[in-house]
Each structure stands twice: as C-alpha cells, then as structure tokens.
Amino acid sequence: MILIGENINIMNKKIKFAMVERKKEIIQKIAIESKENGMNFLDINIGPARKDGPFLMEWIIKIIREVCDLPLSLDTTNIEAIKVGLEMEGERAMINSIQATEERMEELLPFVKKYNCKFIGLLLSKEGMPRDENERGAIAANFLAKIDEYGISHSLVYFDPIVLPVRFQQEQVVAVIEFMKMFKELFPDCNSTCGLSNVSNGALNELRGLINRTYLVMLWKYGLSSAIVDAYDKELIAIIKGEKENIKNLIWKAMDNEIDLKGLSEEERNYVKTVYILQGKSIYSDSYLKL
Ligand code: THG
C-alpha cells in the first residue's frame, strides 16, 4: 500500500499561515517527519489557490526539495499551478486530481501523456457526487474510455471513489466498500486511492484515528492500492507495515463473521464495533463505542 501524507494541507490554520507568509521551516518539518514516519508520497494541498497558485506551487516544491526527496501529489484545482508542478517534477509527480468531466479530462490528460505522470481520477462527474457503487463504476468506466483515447497506460491511473464522512453519509461509506469489492474485476490494471481522513470528518476527535484505521484496513482487504493519510498516526502506519497482524486479522474476520465481543480486549472490541458502523450494520452515533 502506497501511503500519501496528508499533512501539508491549507485547510489546517498553521499550514495556511506558513503558505501565505512563506514560512518554510513549518512545511519542511512536516515533509521531513512524514518521510521518517514511513510516507511514500507527500500530498501538497494548496486548495483552489485562485490568485497565487503557480507561485505558491513553485515555492513549496522548491523548499520541500531542500530537505526531502519524496515524490509529490499536486493537490489543487488550479490547472496553472499543476502545470508548474509538472514542469518542475516531471514523471515522478502525481496530479491530484482530474475530475471525470469532459472539460477537466480534455484539459489535463494531455499533460499526463506529455509527462508520463501518475494521476488521481476523481469519480465526480458533471452530474455531481455518485450516489452508489454502480454510479462509481459507470463514471470510472467512462473515464477509462477517455484514458484509452489518449493512449495512456492504465498503470498511471489511481481512481478515487470519494470517501465521505460516516457521521453524515453513512450509506456512502458503505457504497465505497461495495465499489472496492468490484474494483479488481472491473479495472484490473488500474490503481485506487482515497482521502481516508474524510471518513471521520465531524466525528469526535478521540474516535477519528480508530475510524480511519478501521476503514483503511477494510478497503485494503479489497485491494486498495494507496491512500492519503495522516502521517502522524503511528498506529495506522504500524498496521499497514505489517506490525499489527492481530488487529488486521481481527478486522478482516469481523467483516465476514459474527464476533463474540465477550472474549476481546477493550481495544479489540472497539475495532469490531467500528467495523459494524462502517459496514452500516449499526447506525453511527458519537457514543457508539459505549453501546
Ligand atoms: N481525495 C483526493 N484528495 C484529497 C481528498 C480526497 N485531498 C484532500 C483530502 N481529501 C485529504 N486530506 C485531508 C487532510 C486533512 C484532513 C482530512 C483530509 C483532516 N484534517 C483534520 C481537520 O481538518 O480537522 C485535522 C487537521 C489538523 O491536523 O489540524 O480531517 O478525498 N484525491
């Protein structure tokens, strides 16, 4: 599993300050620590960056390259900023993301072809958010037809089914799992990814890590090939690196079997209860662990 660190992200106040005021040390520290913690990519989320996008992208890449050699995922809807990033990074860059609309695909796929770079194919069409796993499959199939028109290798695409918060959109959390169950059969040569922390947005802070980790391990069972994750969640990284086989095996078992909670430790019980929430078997509430 390829781990993409999410922490250089303009939605965070401190990072926004560092980007606006060009305080390079704050961003460099996160880049260094993300690599130390085991990230394989860094997501550079500068938001829509309407005015300053290309300059901001150029500055960030330059200061990250002073201290860190991880490949970058260029996370912005500003096409000019993406182009600057591609010019600097070439084929080791990843575009985050290309939306599944004619306009965006036709604008950006030529750059994928030119630089032979990876890209995230966001399963968001002109009709808006997909409503279930079948709409996700249809949008991805349409995207792939476009990719073939341009003669782009399927190995460069990372489809993102769009993860939504379990607190507000529990049925969409289930739909993404259902989509991943079909993925390998429908798109055998393509990769997959997701913005994992979206799933716990709006949930209690003390639940967020647990929800994120459980969901990642569930999607992993169906072959999820990468994810944008919190580079400071040491527990999550340990599970993915194979250092917590007991937790991984418990989550995978709980997905297919009724588990007797009585014989489990509190930590194990919490993971199993979270599986049931993310499968839609129990309804999410902030107090679900206590029930
Ligand atoms: N798909 C793709 N790219 C994406 C997303 C996606 N990029 C952005 C986002 N979604 C993934 N990145 C994050 C980064 C942070 C958080 C969620 C997703 C987050 N942060 C906490 C918050 O804002 O409350 C904590 C911030 C902090 O540390 O203070 O939730 O879906 N292709």
* d(C-alpha 125, C-alpha 115), whole Å: 25
What domains lie within the chain, and their CATH numbers?
A: 2-230 (3.20.20.20)
In tens digits, the chain (291 residues) has pLDDT values of 999 999 999 999 999 999 999 999 999 999 999 999 999 999 999 999 888 999 999 999 999 999 999 999 999 999 999 999 999 999 999 999 999 999 999 999 999 999 999 999 999 999 999 999 999 999 999 999 999 999 999 999 999 999 999 999 999 999 999 999 999 999 999 999 999 999 999 999 999 999 999 999 999 999 999 999 999 999 999 999 999 999 999 999 999 999 999 999 999 999 999 999 999 999 999 999 998
Element (H, E) at 212: helix 205-221
Between the CA of 198 and the centroid of ligand 1 the distance, in Å, is 6
Within 10 angstroms of residue 7's Cβ, the number of other Cβ atoms is 22
CB 212 within 8 A of CB 196: yes
Which of the listed residues 29, 33, 75 should we mutate to test ligand 1's pocket, taking the one with most ligand atoms within 8 A of CB?
75
Calpha distance 193→196 (Å, rounded): 9
- Residue 163 CA: nearest ligand 1 atom is 31
User: Helices 266-278 and 245-256, interaxial angle, to 10°?
Assistant: 40
Ligand 1 pocket, residue 76 CB under 6 Å: no
Is 97's C-beta closer than 6 angstroms to any atom of ligand 1? yes
**Could you tell me the strand order of the sheet in which 94-99 lies?**
191-192, 157-160, 118-122, 94-99, 72-76, 41-47, 2-9, 226-229
Burial 206-235 (b: 16+ CB within 10 A, else e): ebbbbbbbbbbbbbbebebbbbbbbbebee
With both helix axes pointing from N to C terminus, report the angle between 205-221 and 170-186 in degrees, rounded to the nearest 10. Answer: 20
- Which of 45, 197, 199 is the best mutation target for the ligand 1 pocket, counting ligand atoms within 8 Å of the beta carbon and taking the most? 197
What's the gap in Å between 122 CA and the centre of ligand 1? 15
- Distance of CA 195 from the midpoint of ligand 1 (Å): 7
Q: If DSSP codes are grouped into helix, strand and coil, which group holds residue 44?
A: strand
Q: How far apart are CA 288 and CA 260, in angstroms?
A: 17
Query: Position of tokens 């808006």?
Result: 128
Given CA atoms 6, 170, 1, 109 in this order, what sign does their dihedral have? negative
pTM for this prediction: 0.98
Distance CA 187, CA 153 (A): 12
Q: Which amino acid is at 36?
A: E
**44, 57 in Cβ contact below 8 A?**
yes
- Run of H or E including 228: strand 226-229
Q: What are phi and psi of 47, to 5 degrees?
A: 70, -160
* 34 touches ligand 1 (CB under 6 Å): no
Burial class (CB in 10 A: 0-12, 13-18, 19+), 79: middle
Q: Is 164 in the pocket of ligand 1 (CB under 6 A)?
A: no
Cβ count within 10 A of residue 13? 8
Give residue-wise pLDDT tens across range 257-269: 999 999 999 999 9
pLDDT digits (tens, 9 = 90+) for 83-134: 999 999 999 999 999 999 999 999 999 999 999 999 999 999 999 999 999 9
Q: Say how far residue 202 (Cα) sits from the centre of its chain.
A: 17
229 with 3: CB under 8 angstroms? yes
